[in-house]
A = this chain, B = another copy of it.
Amino acid sequence: MSTDYDNYGYNKDLKELARRLRKNSTEAEIRLWSEALRAGKMLGFTFLRQRPVLNYIADFMCKELKLIIEVDGKTHDDKDQWYKDQSRQKELENKGFTVLRFTDEEIMDDLENVERSIKGWIKDHPPAPPSKGDSGRASIKSQFEAYIRNLQDEICDRFEQIDNKARFRHDDWERDGGGGGHTRVIEDGDVFEKGGVNISSVHGELPELIRKRFEVEQGWFWAGGLSLVIHPRNPMVPTVHANFRYFELYDDEDMNEVRDCWFGGGADLTPYYLWDEDAVHFHQVLKAACDKHGKDLYPEFKKECDEYFYNSHRSEARGVGGLFFDYLRPNEERSAEDWYAFTTEAGDAFIESYAPIVERRMDEPYDEQQRYFQEVRRGRYVEFNLIHDRGTLFGLKTNGRTESILMSLPPRVRWDYDFEIEEGSDEAYLIERLKNPIDWIAYGE
């Protein structure tokens, strides 16, 4: 992947600066991004935010179009200087980039006009060579790849805002056989004891395990996704897991003939001390995202989540559920584009489903016994992930990167023999709630 980035003048040293700039976006930048550019809104093309290009950072950049969009307004002295620098301008042109510039006022006063300008430019400058898919639009695969890259940025930025102390460390890795990933891990934070937000984009010949599962003799695949697990320090703050992924299966090694494709993913919450209202909030936000794409989706994916995240050997759920979906293929009701829109909507909803819960519980007091209970319950989390979780086992058995996969495991864990819980306690309340699925939406009404 890094080679690909480098073709576009990606400068890794600028990562940290880019991160800070994303955090300090102006209102106009945020509006342009969220209403006109993100998630393929601009004619299906994928834009990246605050992306290092050559030796500077572009506000927005579309690789495929070689288009840079700059928002002028906040002090841009350095940047102006840079664009005035003729040698750099020339270098950009040599790389084939175009820069469109808009002011804060243009964006805030008449966004429609700004959108029209950008669309006009794109129609006059279709990407060359034309990308696959219908009418020059970016492929779902490349859209999704850019989407998860952005989502990773947004999620990590938000978590760093919440945590006073820790920062995500970054690890790029490559997969033998094709592709790689970008792992971000936070450890020893004030709020987050351990957490990881991974993206990966891998491809190659189908591993034997998948060939068997799909009963195919031969095939090639591409798989991209974002996967995260967050273990807060305070036992009053629940653990969360989320995953959004897309898979394509090909007849040919060049990955042109798509034989099959599907989306998968979900998000689920694992409290140690349960406030019912937290579970209600989590489900409400996810349901709202689902409902935009069909009223049938939430009930189905909520049920699948309850069934999937179940520790059968303990006769209890891992947590209070959320969404789980898999094998979302184009069908008579919904196209691949529809499922893309749904999956990214769910991805977009994640932060809002979880961050407010963290913020309202992170300062709750707790004692050593509660911490002890949290560590025992984390043992159940480990049990689920290592015994039952298809994703974990699949990753470990198909040459995945072990450290990135097992990043999901909690930092400190206990196993006591036959740990006992006092009747009528907060701990007993949680366990009781995990015995049978609960309709949290009805509960919250």
Question: Which residues on A are within 8 Å of B, measured CB to CB?
Answer: 171, 185, 187, 194, 196, 313-314, 375, 379, 382-383, 386-387, 393, 396-397, 402-403, 406-407, 409-418
Write out the residue numbers on chain B whose beta carbons fall within 8 Å of the beta carbon of A194. Answer: 415-417
Number of copies: 2
With A and B bound together, what is the CA distance between A187 and B432 in angstroms?
27
The residue from B314, B375, B387, B413 contacting A415, defined by CB atoms under 8 A apart: B413
Contact between chains at A407 and B396 (CB < 8 Å):
no
Chain B residues lying within 8 Å of A393, measured Cβ to Cβ, are 387
Determine which of B387, B406, B418 lies in contact with A171 in the assembled complex, contact meaning CB atoms within 8 Å: B418
Which B residues lie within 8 Å of A383 (CB)?
Answer: 386, 406
Q: Which chain B residues lie closer than 8 Å to A418 at the CB level?
A: 171, 185, 403
CA distance A406 to B380 in the complex (A): 11
**Most chain-B Cβ atoms within 10 A of its Cβ — which of A379, A412, A417?**
A417
Can you spell out 27 A-B residue pairs with CB atoms less than 8 angstroms apart? A171-B418, A185-B417, A185-B418, A187-B416, A187-B417, A194-B417, A313-B396, A313-B397, A313-B402, A379-B409, A382-B382, A383-B386, A386-B386, A387-B387, A387-B393, A387-B396, A403-B417, A406-B415, A409-B415, A410-B415, A411-B414, A411-B416, A412-B412, A412-B413, A412-B414, A413-B414, A413-B415
Closest to A409 in B: B415
In the complex, chain B residues whose CB is within 8 Å of the CB of A412: 375, 412-414
B196, A417: Cβ atoms closer than 8 Å: yes
Residue of B nearest to A397 (CB): B313
A185 and B375 CA atoms in complex are apart in Å by 20
Closest 8 CB pairs of A and B: A386-B386, A409-B415, A313-B396, A185-B417, A413-B413, A403-B418, A313-B402, A386-B387
Q: Which residues does chain B contribute within 8 Å of A386, judged by CB atoms?
A: 382-383, 386-387
Kindly report which residue of chain B lies nearest to residue A185, judged by CB atoms. Answer: B417
Known pairs A382-B386, A386-B386, A387-B393; A411 contacts B406 (CB<8 A): no
Docked complex Cα distance between A23 and B183 (Å):
56
Please indicate the chain B residues that have their CB under 8 angstroms from the CB of A403 in the complex: 417-418
Decide: A411 and B402 in contact? CB cutoff 8 A. no
Residues of B within 8 A of A407 (CB): 417
Chain B nearest CB, measured from A49 CB (Å): 26
Residues of B within 8 A of A411 (CB): 414-416
Give CA–CA (A410, B382) in the complex, Å.
13
Q: How far is the CB of A320 from chain B (nearest CB, A)?
A: 22
CB closest residue in chain B, given A314: B402
Give every chain B residue within 8 A of A379 (Cβ-Cβ).
409
Q: Determine the residue in chain B with the shortest Cβ distance to A392.
A: B387
Complex Cα distance, B387 from A383, in Å, reads 9
Contacts of A414 in B (CB 8 A): 411-413
- Closest Cβ of chain B to A216, distance in Å, is 24
Task: Name A395's closest neighbour in chain B (CB-CB).
Answer: B313
Chain B residue at minimal CB-CB distance from A386: B386
Please name the residue on chain B nearest to A195 by beta carbon.
B417
Q: How far is the CA of A264 from the CA of B411 in the complex (A)?
A: 36
Q: Which residues of B contact A387 (CB under 8 A)?
A: 386-387, 393, 396
Question: In the bound complex, how far is the Cα of B145 from the Cα of A253, in angstroms?
Answer: 59
Q: Give the distance in Å from the alpha carbon of A402 to the alpha carbon of B384 in the complex.
A: 13
